[in-house]
Amino acid sequence: MRLGKQLAGLALAMALACVAHAIPQDSPKQDMKDAGHSTKNAAKDTGRATNNTARTTGHKTKTTSKKAAHKSATKTRHGAAKVEQKTQP
């Protein structure tokens, strides 16, 4: 009994494998569509990466400029205080 079920299952599996092999996988038209979708997705990814990089660079530039401005102002105040001390009688 078991052997009959196993043979029937094996025959069914072989038949399905033959049918699946006979069906064409992709047509050239579908390949072109898939390539177009891949290109579209790659362009989206590139745009997002560019956007993130520009945002990060802008933030770092702003931060560095603020640091430089504060440091310059501090040095200017320090220099003015030195000059004021020298000019007092």
pLDDT the model gives residue 9? 74
- Residue 37 corresponds to which tokens in the numbers above? 């979708």
pLDDT the model gives residue 13? 77
* Exposure b/e, 80-89, CB count within 10 A at least 16 = b: eeeeeeeeee
Q: What is the largest CA-CA distance in the chain?
A: 119
End-to-end Cα distance, the chain: 119
Q: From first to last of its 89 residues, what are the pLDDT tens digits of the chain?
A: 576 777 677 677 777 666 555 556 678 899 999 999 999 999 999 999 999 999 999 999 999 999 999 999 999 999 998 888 888 76
How many CA atoms within 13 Å lie on the side-chain side of 82?
A: 6
pTM for this structure?
0.49
Instruction: Compute the residue count for the chain.
Output: 89
| Residue extents of the structural domains in the chain | 63-89
